[in-house]
Every structure is written in C-alpha cells, then in structure tokens.
Structure 1
Amino acid sequence: MDASYFWNGVAIALSEKDRCASWLCKEAGLSLRTMKNRMKKGIQPRLDEAVRISEALALPLESLCRAPGSCTGMPRSKPKEFYDGGFKVPVYEQLFSAGHGQFLADEEEIAGYIAAPDNLRRFDGHLAATFVRGDSMEPTLFSGDTIICDNLGYDGDEGIYLIHYKGMGFVKRLKRSGGGISIISDNPAYEPMFERGTSEDFRVVGKVRHVVH
C-alpha cells in the first residue's frame, strides 16, 4: 500500500480521536521528529513502527493502509492465464505486500489460474499465486510481480516466504539467527526484524517457489 494512504489514515484517526502527533509518538514510542519527517515526505514506516502506531490508535493496520474510499483489496494486476507445459494453480486477488501489507481475509475468491512449472508438481495441492505490492523486496521482487508459493510453513531454510504478522500479510526473507528468525527485506532501506519463533502475531504461511516478473 502506498505510504500516502497509511499516513492519511493516521491523520484521519488522530482527528477522529481528537489527538495530536506528539500523543501518538508517546504512545507508540516513536520519535516525533522522525514521524513528522516521514509523513511530510511520504516515507513508509518500518513494519514494527506501523504495527505500534496501529496499536496505539486501537485500529487494525489494514484500515490505516486502505486507500481513501475503498472497502476491499481490489486486484491491481490481471492474472496471467497460460497453461502450456505446466499445471494450474489458483490466483487470488488479495495482494500480499512487500511494504505495508494488506488485511488477509479468511475466505478469498479465486481470480483466475496460472500455470506452474513442472518442477513444482511435488507441491501440487499446496500452491497458490498472488501479487507483490511495495518495494521492500527489491531488487529480488518488484511491485506487481506474480509469485507462486506453498502453504507448508517454514521449512527451516533461508528463503523468501509469505508471513502473517499482526494479522497482515507480507513477503519477506527469513533466516535462522540467534535462537530465532530474522525477518529481512532485501531492500537495504528497510531494517530487519527478529522473532523468537512463531506465535499468534507471527506465522509463516509458506515459501515462495516461483516468480513471474
């Protein structure tokens, strides 16, 4: 989701609660100067910062990331449908983000189908495709890329995975580190995070197995 949507959502929430930016920074443990600079320049907050802001405002993160006037995540790309030399996997309209993320609905409608490479047949029945949004995984993944992933969770090896974090969906690189898991953005502009293990707030959906740029 575009950073401007997030900060616009924050501004609206503050206005509705009759609160100011300094109050929010105090509640979320953030620097007022840094937050104002990011709001002014339209810079995306780090994932952990966005979560702390949403918790301070007592609002779901997805409601802050939503475009003004929108009610659901609409497809940003037309599913590519080709079946030569492969087998079909479903494409979901819900966008996973490599930036802010969007709310992951419990039930989603299939938008179409895409052919998966034959070397992924061993995962047949456990694959789905969706779209990347945001720039935090560049230069590996770009906004609008189609990814095919499994739903088998974390396999213990370093790689790019779909994760649920605080009820939101993200595409991140995972790596075992210091008795836990490092959550890494390939774009060096984004700082890594660390989790001791899976929990209600952090769950690994599965591994990205194929990318269509």
Structure 2
Amino acid sequence: MRKIHKTQEKLLDLLKSTIDHPLTIRELASSIGEQSPGVIHHHLVQLEKKGYLKRNPNNPKDYTILDSGEKLIVYLNKYGTAQCGPNGIMLDDNVIEKIPIASSLLKFPSSEAFIVEARGDSMEPKIFSGDIVIGRKQEYAEHNDFIICTYNEEVMIKQLKKGNDGLILYSINSGKYNPKKIEAEDLKIAGIVKNILHYD
C-alpha cells in the first residue's frame, strides 16, 4: 500500500483502537490534537484512496480498516430488527452497535457484512426469533436466495422465488404464512443471508 502522512498514521491507529466505539470527526480531531475537522475529513479521504480504509458515505462512524487483512475477530454493524413476519423496522444508516464475530464465519470480506436480529416465526425452522443473521450487502438476488429486504416499508427476511408470474416472497413456515406475490419496484434488497447464529 502507499505511504501515508504522519497525521494519517495517528488517525489510522486511533480508528483501530476505537472501532468498537467509533468517534465522530470532531472527536477524532480532538483526540489527535487537530483543531480543524475539515483536515480530519481530508485525511480520511486520503486513507480511503490509498486503500487503508473503507467508509460508509452516509455514516462517518461506519468504517472498516483494510490495512492488515482480516483479523481473527471483526466487528460487524448491527442495524436492528428484521421481521420474520409483518411489521419489521426500517433498515437505515443508524448503526445500533458493533458485534464481534469470528472472521472464520465469513466467506466474504467483512466490509460487505452486516447484522440484523430476527423476529417472528415465519422462517422457522431455518431462522428463529432472536437469531443473529449475518447478511452480505448487495441489491440483487437469485431465485431461492434468502434475503433481508424492505417491502412496503417493512424490513423482513424471506426466501425470494422468481417465476413466470413475477416475484414471490416465501415463508419457510408455510403452514402459517402464505406466499406473497410482489411488485419488483416495491422491493428493496439490503443483502443476502449468509450466516445464522442460533441462540437457545
């Protein structure tokens, strides 16, 4: 990777040490003795351009350090509840907390991973209420993929089926929940389910 400025070195060390409790740009500036938040923003942009950092453009507290490869433990963003059934909570850019996860559970870059907590029983016995679901961020899905999505302002976890008649959101617990035929323009896919952590 490219050589970085001394201020960027200090900033990178600070970002590493506070990744589980991220600081605002003003707090970062204060911590390294820099008066101007604008200077910090400039150095963050440079760190990203040089391949040391990946940031969420909508949330300055959401970032991944890239300079040392995947660690044994990575911190994934938890965005809230995804309903297995009706009345989910909207996914947005507000990270509720960062959850430590063994990187060995991921078969893809941790910068593309996020977490939601499942609620409801429509995906039993595959996903139970209270399970931690790890998704991979992407806005598309294939037939039979399990997706974390928003439909009619409800966040949910469903199996996506594609047929001649269009798209269907399918519940594993089909004895209690009927398949739902949907319009593609009303569906927003946040990611694909990659891991499910069950809790007794």
What TM-score does the superposition give when structure 1 sets the normalisation length? 0.54
Structure 1: gaps of 5 or more residues: 1-84
**Matched residue type, 2:190:** V
What TM-score does the superposition give when structure 2 sets the normalisation length? 0.57
Higher strand fraction: Structure 1 or Structure 2?
Answer: 2
Check 1:122–1:86 CA distance in 2 against 1; reply closer, same or farther (3 A cut). Answer: same
Q: Quick one: distance in 1 between partners of 2:83 and 2:158?
A: 9
Q: Give the greater-gyration-radius structure (CA).
A: 2
Is the aligned partner of 1:122 residue 2:139? no
Q: Quick one: distance in 2 between partners of 1:148 and 1:187?
A: 20
Q: Equivalent of 1:205, from 190, 195, 198?
A: 190
**Per-residue Cα deviation, 1:14-40 (whole angstroms, up to 9, x for no partner):** xxxxxxxxxxxxxxxxxxxxxxxxxxx
CA contact (8 A) 1:91 1:114 kept: no
3-state SS, counterpart of residue 118 of structure 1: helix
How far does residue 195 in structure 1 lie from its aligned partner after superposition? 2.4
**Matched residue type, 2:178:** E
CA RMSD of aligned residues (A): 2.1
Match of 1:34 in 2: none
How far does residue 204 in structure 1 lie from its aligned partner after superposition? 1.4
Is the aligned partner of 1:138 residue 2:124? yes
Q: Quick one: distance in 1 between partners of 2:88 and 2:182?
A: 20
Structure 2: gaps of 5 or more residues: 1-70
Count matched residues: 127
**Per-residue Cα deviation, 1:55-107 (whole angstroms, up to 9, x for no partner):** xxxxxxxxxxxxxxxxxxxxxxxxxxxxxx84414242511110223331533
CA contact (8 A) 1:150 1:209 kept: yes
**Matched residue type, 1:161:** I
CA contact (8 A) 2:150 2:187 kept: yes
3-state SS, counterpart of residue 106 of structure 2: helix
Check 1:157–1:142 CA distance in 2 against 1; reply closer, same or farther (3 A cut). Answer: same
Percent of aligned pairs with the same amino acid: 24
How far does residue 135 in structure 1 lie from its aligned partner after superposition? 0.5
* Off by >4 Å, runs of 4+ in structure 1: none
CA contact (8 A) 1:149 1:206 kept: yes
Is the aligned partner of 1:160 residue 2:143? no
Check 1:212–1:105 CA distance in 2 against 1; reply closer, same or farther (3 A cut). Answer: closer
CA contact (8 A) 2:79 2:92 kept: no
Q: Quick one: distance in 1 between partners of 2:166 and 2:189?
A: 13
